[in-house]
Chain A
Amino acid sequence: MQDTITITINGKEYKVKAGQTIMQAADSLGFHIPRLCYHPKLSIEGACRVCIVEVEGMKNFVASCAFPINNGIKIKTNTAQLRRARRDIVELILDNHPQDCHICERDGNCELQHLAYTMGIRKKHFEGQKKNYDLDLSSASVIRDPNKCILCGRCVRMCTEIQGVSAIDYANRGFDTVVMPAYNQPLGESVCSHCGQCINICPTAAFVEKNYTQELFEKLDDESIIKVVQVAPAVRAAIGEAFGLEPGRNMEHETAAALRKLGFNYVFDTQFSADLTIMEEASEFLERVQGKGKLPLITSCCPGWINCAEKFYPEMLENISTSKSPMSMMSPLLKTYFAQKQKIDPEKIFCVAVMPCTAKKCESERPEHTVNDMRATDLVITTRELAWMIKSAGIDFVNIAGEAYDKPCGMSSGAATIFGVTGGVMEAAVRTAYELYTGETMTEIELEDIRGLQGIKEGQLTLEGQEIRIAVAHGLGNAHKLLKIVKQEPDKYHFIEIMACPGGCIGGGGQPYPSENLIPLDQNLLNTRAKALYESDRKNTIRRSHENPEVQRLYREFLKRPLSDKSHELLHTHYKAKQPQGIVSHMLNNLQNGK
């Protein structure tokens, strides 16, 4: 095939690389063809028909996202006829859409709204029946609103192609077509892993997180309780984007300041408990390497992965670390260790977590995450929800003076910071495990092999002559691929990190919607967020979890040592195989009805 071919766009000839679609070629030449269902990371759907163009010799318009260019092809991207057809198409979508933009969560950040604006749609031509479905509020994390759905299918492809979960798909035909879980069972009872990537990929607000901002504002007004909050590492790497700041700006201290201004009594850093997670998990790993327990050990801090594992990999649950996630280690400590230290009645502590994640909402509701019959984490909000709250409270986040996190649970190592990016947990664990095992301090602590956005990454190290093979997967689709290898070769790896979201927590389902010129899953966006965390690690004088003096003090004063009885009581958990309840109950119903 020729490498360069000649194409004509709007009457002018251009030389472009062969093997592209019309849209790709046009993009490279500065013609932005409007689009909706297209996403560069997903398969080509050709469904919305917004990106139609004229190709000489073709009777009908063609979808530029799908149509390959060939030498001599003559394309028109902006004729009166095309503009009118595109406008009609977007208008048809709008006519079957709630059009309640001013009260919609995506107001100002909605691709459909933006498209309607750029197409100059000012009038309604084809009004008629509108879809009218109930909201699906069954999930602890994600709300499904079929009324806002424009059937672009991006969520379906995301859930299937990137995440390999396939919790949702199209059902019914014609005007009644709707995206739903199998058998229209509630999302909360489906195979959904709560990762929230459907929210990020949705051009409208057909999927949104369960929003707790109003409840939280009410709690913040309540003088009788102690409001305590923790912030996950990935939040600081992205929250600036919600305020129009360039991606990759680390807002660690601004976030702490804003949370205090919102009314929290104590602002802690989840990175503190991330260091603690490493202490427990690295110790657990070393125990297993020495023959006590199953290998490979798989990390457990990602709740999306845990949901997935319980439904898809019941046979591998013993491989998963019993260490709780940093969030779920922090909360019980706040209601015990911190409460004792500060002489506060733990019943009065209201424990909030700000997470880049929707699945954390689900994790916080798990019955096993309780402490003395109290819920450990009382409320989880996402990065997006926090950004809304800050805006709503009228806090000038961009210009606010940064503040430090509170002690004793506010100090952290650089190893904890990189928890927020794929490979980070593994890197942090290796830094500590190496020293715990060999007694020597690891010097080359930046593990380039397991950094970056490649789907599956491998590395190895030597622990006193023993070769330790490690692997990292991010995005559940890659996790499926990695675990397939593990099933075939159970001895191939010793230690595996899995994060449900592409890029790890920096690409979490609760992170800010990308600004106008960016798209979700964009590699550059994820890389800049990652860079913010890696830089923060590099600047930190403490870069190994076991060197965190507050963590050392916690062990000294409270937990004794990693894997102690107290640790097991507060910091470890177990997993149960779960059937997607929706499908099971559907099948039972069918059996009872004699179908």
Chain B
Amino acid sequence: MKEHVITICNGTACINKDVRGLQNILEEQLVKLDLQDKVKINVSGCLGMCDKGPVMIVYPGYTIYGGVTEKDITEILQEHIINKRPISRLAIQEDNLFNRFFRIFGDTKFFGRQMRIALRNCGIIDPENIDDYIALRGYEALAKILTDMTAQDVIDEVKKSGLRGRGGGGFPTGTKWQFTADQINDQKYVICNADEGDPGAFMDRSAIEGDPHTILEGMIIGGYAIGANKGIIYIRAEYPLAIKRLEKALADAEAHCLLGKNILGSNFDFDIEIRLGAGAFVCGEETALIRSIEGRRGMPKPRPPYPSVSGLFGFPTLINNVETWANVPVVILDGGSWFSTVGTEKSKGTKVFALAGMVNNTGLIEVPMGTTLREIIYDIGGGLPNGKQLKAIQTGGPSGGCLPAEYLDTPIDYESLAKAGSIMGSGGMIVMNEDVCMVDVARFFIEFTQSESCGKCTPCREGTKRMYEILTRIIEGKGMPGDIEKLERLGSMTQKASLCGLGQSAPNPVLSTIKNFREEYEEHINEKKCRAGVCKALLNYVITEKCIGCGACKRVCPVDAIDGNKKQMHHIDNDKCIRCGMCMNTCKFGAIIKS
């Protein structure tokens, strides 16, 4: 028995900060200091504190060290392990509370407001070690259904839990399972949608990287419930680590008789195959995803028929998102009634968010439904840096809406977000401060959805393009009266007439910013002014009376737009100026301002 365990986060974010190099150094140092018998090194998936990496946890004591550098390693071993003195300078948070099957990371604000169900094992277990998963009650839910429950029992339990699809649609999971189970067909499929395409979102990736077995367990349970023997995980090829861990998990599960023929000695057979997506955003839409698996171009098709009736190769298909599957073992193990105590009346359980933007703590979080935006941004997120004011919160990925600060007390659930004019989506959340121009934001998102539109239906293909063009001309100072109304007209038509969710939600950023920040649009169009100072074409640099005529700005200007005699106030020719901002950065006297 070793005295200490050091768990090193091996999520993608920490790996990108060379946590593996640190691990090698740590191993060398252990030998050097003759500690190899005292310290065990573990790896784990993502803990969610992605901006604080590389992260490692020292047990016992649960000391989380963040931003660890090469020289910190020796200090940690010397001080914490040998001298038993945890280093508060390096520690992020400290906690050692445990609770039931998942761990609550104590009463610190970052973890205290969170509740981890889907991510219960992430950051704790070694994702490449099936024994770690089994030790934390892994595959117990599977054993339970195979021995004690009928397929209908399983579906009833899921129904009772109130679990809804975490991919964005929020369709009741149990109902979907029931539809698929009710189809009489020898061949059915179970699909895990891991084609996470929202820019900046990494919920699914982290869930798989941190705890791949829970996804497999969820899928096997789903297969048992609907009468399918074949599962497919559709994951984007840009997630090599997640794929590697899934492959390992599949091999291990099969070796442990948890997958394949006669699972755990029962009569139930189930196989899972991994299919790689080529990175098209639209392939996250279920019918497009199915076509992609079939080897065709990923393009959505009209529903009905829904995949539960006619899905992959025309067979009944149950398709759920990664996070939904991760919840399933918990629903079975602790019961639907318990699960339904978490969350709000209509939205049960928790939701994982990728918190990003102008907020102190960015990373991956999981909160009970009903948590307010305020709690997420100010408690978990630690507020906005540099004393800046909150301007807007964008939820739901590139096709979500932008909510102004008035909506801070909106509880997070499917209905409330929709009512506020945004969507739950798959769980992106971007915090924006006063330095952000809402017109620019709207254009940014519509540019993304336009370039990722599959091109099939007219409103999405052509409508988003025209909206992008109108927004571009507004930003370039060429906006015309009537442009806002055109955007509204195109937006609402695209919402209502598009074929799939991509087109139906693509106008959300535009329509919500018009609704909540209309005056900014009007300023851009009528006064040719961008209050955030983002839109370069609407920006003028002005030299004020603080200028002492040193000439530094004149020398640095790449287009010779600045004129003036020595020791006299200089002047910027706005026709020549390309708004690069070099002059303002160079001026030591704060004499140059944006106007």
Point out residues on A near B: beta carbons under 8 Å: 44-50, 52, 59-61, 63, 66-68, 84-85, 88-89, 92-93, 95-96, 125-126, 128-129, 150-151, 153, 169-170, 172-177
- Within the assembled complex, what's the spacing in Å between the Cα atoms of A151 and B458? 8
Pick the interface stretch among B494-502, B529-537, B576-584: B494-502
Nearest Cβ on chain A to B450's Cβ, whole angstroms: 5
Segment at the A interface, from B38-46, B107-115, B294-302, B378-386: B294-302
**A177–B465 Cα gap in the complex (Å)?**
12
| Residues of chain A within 8 A of B458, CB atoms compared | 47-50, 89, 92-93, 150-151
CB<8 Å pairs between A and B, sample of 5: A88-B493, A95-B466, A96-B462, A174-B455, A174-B465
The closest CB in chain B to the CB of A96 belongs to: B462
Residues of B with C-beta under 8 A to A59: 496
Interface membership of B426, Cβ < 8 A: no
Report B467-501 CB contacts with A as 1/0, cut-off 8 Å: 00100000000000000001001100101111100
Q: Are A49 and B459 in contact (CB under 8 A)?
A: yes
Residue contact B493 to A173, C-beta cutoff 8 Å: no
How many Å lie between the Cα of A585 and that of B321 in the bound state?
41
Q: Mark B448-467, 1 if CB is under 8 A from A, else 0.
A: 00111111111101111110
C-alpha gap A50/B458 in the complex (Å): 9
Chain A proximity of B10: nearest CB distance (Å): 32
- Who on chain B is nearest to A128 by CB? B469
Dominant SS among interface residues on chain A: loop
Q: For the complex, is B280 an interface residue (Cβ under 8 Å from A)?
A: yes
Residues of chain A within 8 A (CB-CB) of B464 are: 174-175
Known A47-B458, A92-B466, A126-B466: A173·B497 in contact at CB below 8 Å: no
8 Å CB contact of A63 from B302, B463, B465: B302
Given contacts A49-B498, A52-B497, A151-B461, 17 further A-B contacts (CB under 8 A): A44-B302, A45-B456, A46-B301, A46-B302, A49-B457, A60-B498, A61-B496, A88-B463, A93-B462, A95-B462, A95-B466, A128-B465, A129-B469, A150-B458, A173-B452, A174-B465, A177-B456
Bound complex: CA of A128 vs CA of B467, how far in Å?
10
Contact partners of A45 in chain B: CB under 8 A: 301, 456
B457:A175 contact, CB within 8 angstroms = no
Kindly state the separation between the CA atoms of A49 and B458 in the bound complex, as whole angstroms: 7
Question: Is B453 a contact of A92 with CB atoms below 8 Å?
Answer: no
- Asked whether B466 lies within 8 Å of A46 as measured between CB atoms, the reply is no
Residues of A within 8 A of B60 (CB): none
Knowing A61-B496, A85-B496, the reply to whether A174 touches B452 (Cβ < 8 A) is: yes
Residues on the A chain within 8 Å of B463, using CB: 88, 92
Residue ID in chain B nearest A46 by CB atoms: B302
Q: Say yes or no: A174 contacts B497, CB within 8 Å.
A: no
| B499 touching A174, Cβ below 8 Å | no
Tell me, in angstroms, the Cα distance from A126 to B466 when the chains sit together.
6
Q: How far is the CA of A297 from the CA of B461 in the complex (A)?
A: 49
Partner of B486, one of A125, A170, A173, A176: A125
Interface contact A61-B465, CB-CB below 8 Å: no
Most A C-beta atoms less than 10 A away, residue of B453, B489, B496, B504? B496
B482 nearest CB across to chain A (Å): 9
- Could you give, for residues 284-311 of chain B, a 1 whenever the CB lies within 8 Å of some chain A CB and a 0 otherwise? 0000000000000101011010000000
A-B contact number at CB 8 A: 110
Docked-complex contact A89 and B297, CB < 8 angstroms: no
Closest-by-CB residue of B relative to A81 is B496
Cβ of B465 and Cβ of A151 under 8 Å apart? Answer: no
CB atoms of B462 and A175 under 8 A apart? yes
Q: Are B497 and A49 in contact (CB under 8 A)?
A: yes
- On whether A47 and B499 interact (CB within 8 A), knowing A169-B297, A170-B455, the answer reads yes
Across the interface, do B302 and A177 meet the contact criterion of CB distance under 8 Å? Answer: no
Contact of A151 among B301, B456, B504 (CB under 8 A): B456
Taking CB atoms, residues of chain B closer than 8 Å to A96 are 462, 465
User: CB within 8 Å of A: which residues of B?
Assistant: 280, 282, 297, 299, 301-302, 304, 450-459, 461-466, 469, 486, 489-490, 493, 495-499, 504
A292 to B469, CA, bound (A): 69
The 9 closest A-B pairs by CB, nearest first: A177-B455, A46-B302, A66-B302, A92-B462, A128-B469, A174-B453, A126-B466, A175-B465, A47-B456
Known A-B contacts A61-B496, A96-B462, A129-B465; the reply to A46 vs B457 at CB < 8 A is yes
Give, as a whole number of angstroms, the nearest-CB distance from A201 to chain B.
17
Is the pair B456, A153 in contact by a Cβ cutoff of 8 Å? yes
B462, B490, B499 interface centre (most CB from chain A within 10 Å): B462
CA of A532 to CA of B484 in the docked complex: distance in angstroms? 59
Query: Is the beta-carbon distance between B496 and A173 smaller than 8 angstroms?
Result: no
Contact present for A60 and B504 (CB under 8 Å): yes
Query: Which residue in B301, B466, B486, B497 is a CB contact (below 8 Å) of A85?
Result: B497
Min CB distance A87 to B, Å, is: 10
**Which chain B residues border A174 with CB–CB below 8 Å?**
450-455, 461, 464-465
Task: List A contacts of B455 (CB < 8 A).
Answer: 151, 170, 172-177
The smallest beta-carbon distance between B498 and chain A, in angstroms, is 7
Given the known interface contacts A49-B499, A95-B462, A128-B469, the answer about A170 and B302 at a Cβ–Cβ threshold of 8 Å is no
**Chain A residues, Cβ within 8 Å of B304:** 67-68
Instruction: Report the minimal beta-carbon distance from B298 to chain A, rounded to whole angstroms.
Output: 10
Residue of B nearest to A173 (CB): B455
A47 to B461, CA, bound (A): 10
Closest-CB distance, A49 to chain B (whole angstroms): 5
Taking CB as reference atom, which chain B residue is nearest A50? B458
B546 nearest CB across to chain A (Å): 44
CA distance A60 to B299 in the complex (A): 19
B495 x A92 contact (CB < 8 A): no
Residue in A closest to B464 when the chains form the complex, CB atoms: A174
Say how far B574's CB is from chain A's closest CB, in angstroms.
28
Question: Of the candidates B302, B469, B497, B504, which one forms a contact with A89 in the assembled complex, judged by CB atoms under 8 Å apart?
Answer: B497
Q: Are B493 and A85 in contact (CB under 8 A)?
A: yes
A61 to B457 Cα, complex, angstroms: 13
How many angstroms between the C-alpha atoms of A420 and B451 in the bound complex?
47
Write out the residue numbers on chain B whose beta carbons fall within 8 Å of the beta carbon of A129: 465, 469
Q: Which residues of B contact A50 (CB under 8 A)?
A: 458
A92 touches B459 (CB 8 A): yes
Q: Which residues of A contact B493 (CB under 8 A)?
A: 84-85, 88-89
> B113 → chain A, closest Cβ, in Å?
33
Q: Which residue of A lies closest to B462 (CB)?
A: A92
A34 CB, min distance to chain B CBs, angstroms:
13
Distance from B146 Cβ to chain A, minimum over Cβ atoms (Å): 37
Q: Which residue of B lies closest to A68 (CB)?
A: B304
What CA separation (Å) do A172 and B454 show in the bound complex? Answer: 8
How far is it, in angstroms, between the C-alpha of A169 and the C-alpha of B296 when the chains are bound?
10
Cβ of B495: which chain A residues have Cβ within 8 Å of it?
60
Q: Is there an interface contact between B453 and A173, defined as CB atoms closer than 8 Å?
A: yes
Contacts of A52 in B (CB 8 A): 497
Question: Are A126 and B490 closer than 8 Å at their CB atoms?
Answer: yes
Contact B486 A89 (CB under 8 A): no
**Chain A residues positioned under 8 Å from B297 (CB to CB):** 169-170
Residues of B within 8 A of A169 (CB): 297
Chain A proximity of B74: nearest CB distance (Å): 46
Whether B457 and A47, one on each chain, are in contact in the complex, defined by CB atoms closer than 8 angstroms, is yes
Query: Shortest distance in angstroms between B407's beta carbon and chain A's nearest beta carbon?
Result: 22
Compute how far the CA of A52 lies from the CA of B456 in the bound complex, rounded to whole angstroms: 15
Across the interface, do B454 and A173 meet the contact criterion of CB distance under 8 Å? yes
Bound together, the chains give a CA A95 to CA B454 distance in angstroms of 19
- Chain A residues whose CB sits within 8 angstroms of the CB of B499 once the complex forms: 46-47, 49, 63
A88 to B485, CA, bound (A): 13
Residues of B within 8 A of A60 (CB): 495-498, 504
Q: For residue B303, which residue of chain A has the nearest CB? A: A66
* B498, closest chain A residue (CB): A49
Q: Report the separation of the CA atoms of residues A50 and B304 in the bound assembly, to the nearest whole angstrom.
A: 18
In angstroms, how far is the closest chain B Cβ from the Cβ of A80? Answer: 13
Q: Which residue of B lies closest to A177 (CB)?
A: B455
A54 to chain B, nearest CB (A): 9
* Cα distance A169–B456 in the bound complex, in angstroms: 12
Complex contact B302–A67 (CB within 8 A): yes
In the complex, which residue of chain A has the Cβ closest to the Cβ of B504?
A60
Contact A88 B452 (CB under 8 A): no
Select A126's contact among B301, B452, B486, B496, beta carbons within 8 Å.
Answer: B486
